[in-house]
Amino acid sequence: MPNKQKNTNHKEIFEFLLKEAGISTNGDKPCDIKIHNEKVFDRVLGQGSLGLGESYMDGWWDCDRLDEFFYRILNLHIENKVKPWGMLPHFLKAIIFNPGAGKHSFEIGEKHYDIGNVLYQNMLDKRLVYSCGYWKGVNTLDEAQEAKLDLTCKKLRLKKGMKVLDIGCGWGSFLKYAAEKYGVEGVGITVSQEQVRLGSRLCKGLPVEIRLQDYRELNEKFDHIVSIGMFEHVGYKNYRTYMKKVAKLLDDKGLFLLHTIGNNETTITTDPWISKYIFPGGMIPSIRQIGASIEKLFVMEDWHNFGLDYDRTLMAWYGNFTKNWSRIKAGYNQRFYRMWGYYLLSCAGSFRARRNQLWQIVLSKRGVPGGYNPVR
């Protein structure tokens, strides 16, 4: 009897919270959720976002429009009204351990980027850009990613013969584009063996080298440095170390462009479901954290936010993922399909609700003589 009462109370709380966001259980709206297992209420109220995500992966509930479901609940900050005890170990782990340090920095490569190039080749654009596109004046994912690459090149003021470093280069998409269109030579580093293997092949014949290397191991000079979608894996304990290394590697007259997802508030953890299943050890920096990390090292020349473009990018990735699942699924199971779709759509909802931002920050070591003219 007590267990039944507990489940009833949790169900009432769960449904009350969803009602505030205009969401019903077993309703007819696309954002409504269909309950397949009544234990989901205890699981979510006890474990928060981890319980919500794992119960979805287990098939305990469904939703026709997960992106809209997450947009609604995140827009109202409903998760702040429930503080599950299950969050405590996650918080303590962030304080005690440093997943972005030493050998741990390669864990993200093994658990996320090395899970199969076939997945990414069927989900991303033709250049394999795994970061936010720039949708200003364009209509397709391919166009949006080329626009972002070109925007980045122009912000860095690239010219023929320059030597450029890409920290967290992925499959070499930026350096390949910059070498083809702007005549630069470059070094790209990544912690993913699969990215090195495919990226080196894609950049063959160009003055581009793709290495399996941690940024702390670098000891060379570069005219300009770029980092696109990698800073989210650095970890708050390493931000200052990261910026000091970049400053040491960068020519005194060079520019550093940091492209990163941004957090509206300062935290030391990330969502526990995302950390466990998608990006182990990752976290999203705030303005305060970035500001502290660059103090006395850099002059902030430009700060550009186009976070809403990530919603559209993620929805395009999800469309490709579902459309091409027949080509992908040989190496995965149905649980992975639910997990990956949940990841893409929950993130889309978060950017739509403006809970996360996408920043491109241009930094110089001593200030651009005469001032820096922003590019948009």
> CATH no. for residue 249?
3.40.50.150
Sign of the C-alpha dihedral computed for residues 61, 64, 69 and 71 taken in this order = positive
| Same structural domain, 150 and 261 | yes
Q: Are residues 68 and 126 in the same domain?
A: no
Q: Which of 132, 153, 169, 347 is catalytic?
A: 347
Q: Which domain holds residue 78?
A: 2-85
Question: Is residue 248 located within the same domain as residue 343?
Answer: yes
Residue 347 is a catalytic residue:
yes
Residues 56, 121 share a domain: no
What is the pTM assigned to this prediction?
0.92
pLDDT tier at 1 (50, 70, 90 boundaries)? very low
* 55 and 138 co-located in one domain: no
Angle between helical axes of 40-47 and 2-20 (0-180°, round to 10): 70
Q: Would you give the DSSP letter of residue 64?
A: S
Is 179 within a domain? yes
Same domain for 173 and 287:
yes
Q: How many domains does the chain have?
A: 2
Ramachandran region of residue 232, left (φ > 0), alpha (ψ -120 to 50) or beta? alpha
Asked if residue 111 is part of any domain, the answer here is yes
59, 85, 111 — which closes off a domain? 85
Same domain, 108 and 216: yes
Both 79 and 106 in one domain: the answer is no
What would the pLDDT profile of 272-322 be if each residue is shown by its tens digit? 999 999 999 889 999 999 999 999 999 999 999 999 999 999 999 999 999
User: Tens digit of pLDDT for each residue in 254-275?
Assistant: 999 999 999 999 998 889 999 9
**pLDDT computed for residue 24 by the predictor:** 96
Domain membership of residue 261 (yes or no) is yes
The answer as to whether 91 is a domain residue is no
Does residue 212 sit in the same domain as residue 304? yes
What is the per-residue pLDDT for 7? 52
